[in-house]
Amino acid sequence: MALTITNVKVLVTCPDRNYVLVKIETSDPGVYGWGDATLNGRELAVAAALEQHIAPLLIGRDPDRIEDLWQMIYRGTYWRGGPVLMTALAGVDLALWDIKGKRAGMPVYSLLGGRTRDGALAYTHCSGRDFAEVEDSVRAAMARGFKAIRVQVLVPGMSGTYGVSNQPAERYSSFDMEALPLVERFEPSPYLRVIPKLVEHLRVALGDEIELLHDVHERLTPIQAARLAKELEAYHLFFLEDPIRPENKESFRLIRQHTTIPIAMGELFHTRWDGLPLITEQLIDFIRCDLGHIGGISEARKIAAIAESFYVQTAWHGPGDIAPMTHAANVHVDLSIANFGIQEMVFFPEVAQEVMPGAPTFADGYLNVTDAPGLGTDVNEALAATYPYKRAYLPVVRRVDGSVGDW
Ligand code: GCO
Ligand code: MG
C-alpha cells in the first residue's frame, strides 16, 4: 500500500515566545514530519489557514509529491501568496521534506544534492545603549567564535530602535492577553548621524578582520539610505540590510548609483517574484528571504538558483521568532547550494530547545546540522502543550510627532 497523509496537526505553543508547528502524519505510524509556520504577531491566522483550509486538502495524498502539493496549495487558492498563506505553505513544505528525508534515511541537504561546504558561515546579533556596550558585546561574540556580527545601537534620545531597546526588559518579555504593541519612537536624522560613528568606533577598536553587518529595518527613504551607505562605505560592511521598505523595487537603483556597499534584502518578501527584479537587475548582493514565510525549502531552492546566475548570494532570515525547523531548513539549503553567502542565527533559550530539539549547532563561526534523516528536528508534544499561546505583537514605530513612520 502506498504511503498517504492521514493527519495534519497544528500546534501553537509559547515556551518563550509563540511558535506555530505543523505535524504531518502518514499511514505508516513511524513516519511523520514537522514543519514551522510561525508568523510573529499573526500566529493564529496561519494556524486557522492550516487547520480550516489546507489540512483537508492534504488528507489521503501521497507525501512524496512535494512539488505537486506545493503547486496545488499555492495556485489552488487562486488568490496566491501573502504572508499568512505562504507561511502556512512553508510549514507543510518543511514537514514534507522532513518525511522524505526520514524515508530515504538521509539528511535533507543530501536530498538537495549533497554538501557544497563543511559548514555555513554564521552571524549573530550584538547591540548596546552606547558604543562601549556594543563593543563589549562584539568582543564577547568574537570570544565565542563568531567571525561575523550584526551591530545595532540605541539612537540618542530615542526610547528604542530596531535591535535595541531602552524599555524595561519586562515590557518586551511579559506576555499578557491585554498587551498591545509597544510604541517605538524613531527619527531618521539622529539615526543617520550615529550609525557611521558606531561603525567607525568598532573598526578602530576591533580592526578590519571581523565582518560587521547592520540592519536598517526599512526605516529610511531611498536618498537617506544612499547617504548612509556612502558614509559607511569606508568601513567595509559585509552588508547593509533592508535599507528601505520593500514595496518599490526601483528605489534600489538610487542607492546603487551612489555606493558600492553590499546590500541585503528579502525578509519581507513572500514570493520569488517580490525579489526578482532586485536579483535580475543586480540591485542587491544578498537575498535574505525567510524560508518560513516564502513557501519553504522548495521555493528557497528556486530563488537560490535564480540568484546564482546573477552573482547574488543567499543570507536567509534567521531570527528568534521562527522555530528550529526553519533554522534547520536554512542550514540544509546553505550546505547544498553553490551561492551561499552567510546565515543569520540565534541561540534558542533552553525551554524552547526542550520543546523543539534539533536546532543547528554552532562551532567556531559556522553552523551545521547532523546526518540525522530529514531536518533533524523534533517536538516534545506533551511539553509543548504545557505552554499555551499568549497574544503578543511586534512594536509599532512612530515618529516623534506621533505619526506612524512612512518610510
Ligand atoms: C532580522 C529581522 C528580525 C525581524 C523579526 C520580525 O534581521 O533578524 O529584522 O529581527 O524584525 O523577524 O518578527
Ligand atoms: Mg532584518
pLDDT digits (tens, 9 = 90+) for 204-224: 999 999 999 999 999 999 999
**Whether residue 159 is found in the same domain as residue 192:** yes
CA 334 to chain centre: 13
Would you say the CB of residue 274 lies under 6 angstroms from ligand 1? no
pLDDT digits (tens, 9 = 90+) for 176-202: 445 788 888 999 999 999 999 999 999
**Whether residue 86 is found in the same domain as residue 213:** no
**Whether residue 70 is found in the same domain as residue 130:** no
Asked if residue 352 lies in contact with residue 15, where contact means CB atoms within 8 angstroms, the answer is: yes
**Whether residue 252 is found in the same domain as residue 344:** yes
394 Cα nearest atom in ligand 1: 13
Number of domains the chain contains:
2
CA of 143 to the centre of ligand 2 (A): 24
Report which bound ligand comes closest to the CA of 241: 2
For residue 385, tell me if it sits in a domain: no
Task: State residue 117's pLDDT score.
Answer: 98
For residue 244, tell me if it sits in a domain: yes
Quick one: cell of 407?
518610510
User: How many other CB atoms sit within 10 Å of the CB of residue 84?
Assistant: 19
pLDDT digits (tens, 9 = 90+) for 109-145: 999 999 999 999 999 999 999 999 999 999 999 999 9
**Whether residue 99 is found in the same domain as residue 123:** no
74: domain CATH number is 3.30.390.10
**Whether residue 92 is found in the same domain as residue 234:** no
**Whether residue 103 is found in the same domain as residue 133:** no
**Whether residue 198 is found in the same domain as residue 129:** yes
More confident residue, 252 or 174: 252
Query: By residue range, what is the domain housing residue 260?
Result: 111-374
Task: State residue 166's pLDDT score.
Answer: 72
CA of 288 to the centre of ligand 2 (A): 9
Report which bound ligand comes closest to the CA of 346: 1
For residue 361, tell me if it sits in a domain: yes
Q: Can you state the angle between helices 297-309 and 324-334, rounded to 10 degrees?
A: 30
Give the residue numbers annotated as catalytic, written as ranges. 162, 217
Q: Where are the alpha helices (DSSP H) in 216-296?
A: 222-232, 251-258, 272-280
For residue 388, tell me if it sits in a domain: no
Pick the residue whose CA is nearest to atom 3 on ligand 1: 319
**Whether residue 61 is found in the same domain as residue 123:** no
**Nearest 5 degrees, angle CA 96-CA 100-CA 103?**
135
